[in-house]
A and B are shown apart, each in its own frame.
Chain A
């Protein structure tokens, strides 16, 4: 079973702090990794995608990938109350032949306190 693991939280940080969200995956050959943000009652919204080892920055968000450790993380700098949501880590996994699918972690609930 190819799995994606996340701490379910809740993770609570004060406004302005750095929020750190972590994810590990079991399929060593995975190549594509995604972070989605999901507000309560809404659909997932893509925040970051990362394919290469190292860091990728986009505004206040930084994704970090370490394929050797099978670990991907998301840092949110200067956290805002509007960042309060569930963050889903997703890994693209080969499901046989040329078929691929996203496998999601259970999500980490982030609360940013004013």
Chain B
């Protein structure tokens, strides 16, 4: 089973709203990732968590706030977003961050399609 579950599938929010995206995996993976993908572009890495600690922040604006409450769950809190933040937000997980090659394989969730009005 390589399932990464993301909720909600679709989200429409205003620029003054606060919302959260949720990602869950039960594969025992210890690395989890947030990506942003615009139409016809590749995924862009936003954040990486390793063993529930923030490992990489790709200079993402503070209106995006990640949280990793436990090893199975990853949240992305959204506040005061801009229309240009509308995109597909993808969560992924892998066994680990460093080390053995098979552990690096990232499995993606179905994504949350976000529209900011």
**Residue B75 is within 8 A (CB to CB) of chain A in the complex:** no
**Residue B115 is within 8 A (CB to CB) of chain A in the complex:** no
A residues contacting B by CB (< 8 A) are: 31-32, 34, 36, 42-46, 49, 51, 88, 92, 95, 98-102, 104-107
Residue numbers in A under 8 Å from B42 (CB-CB): 88, 104-107
* Beta-carbon contact of A98 and B104 below 8 Å: no
* Beta-carbon contact of A99 and B55 below 8 Å: yes
Closest residue of chain A to B45 (Cβ to Cβ) is: A101
* Beta-carbon contact of B101 and A51 below 8 Å: yes
A40 CA to B56 CA in the complex, in Å? 28
| A-B CB contact pairs (8 Å), 10 listed | A34-B106, A43-B88, A43-B109, A43-B110, A88-B43, A98-B97, A99-B98, A100-B104, A106-B42, A107-B42
Closest residue of chain B to A50 (Cβ to Cβ) is: B101
Q: Which of B67-117 contact A (CB under 8 A)?
A: 88, 90, 97-98, 101-102, 104-111
**CB-contact partner of A98 in B45, B98, B101, B102, under 8 A:** B98
**CB-contact partner of B43 in A44, A45, A99, under 8 A:** A44
- Identify the interface centre among A98, A101, A106: most chain B CB within 10 Å of its CB: A101
Residue numbers in A under 8 Å from B104 (CB-CB): 32, 92, 100
Known: A42-B110, A51-B101, A100-B97. 19 other contacts (CB 8 A): A32-B101, A32-B104, A34-B105, A34-B106, A36-B108, A43-B90, A44-B43, A45-B108, A46-B105, A46-B106, A46-B107, A49-B105, A95-B56, A98-B98, A99-B55, A99-B97, A101-B45, A101-B48, A106-B41
* Beta-carbon contact of A102 and B106 below 8 Å: yes
Number of B residues, CB within 8 Å of A: 21
* Beta-carbon contact of B56 and A99 below 8 Å: yes
* Beta-carbon contact of B98 and A100 below 8 Å: yes
Q: Which of B40-56 contact A (CB under 8 A)?
A: 41-43, 45, 48, 55-56
Instruction: Decide: A101 near B110, CB < 8 A? Known: A44-B43, A44-B90, A88-B42.
Output: no
* Beta-carbon contact of B55 and A31 below 8 Å: no
Residue numbers in B under 8 Å from A43 (CB-CB): 88, 90, 108-111
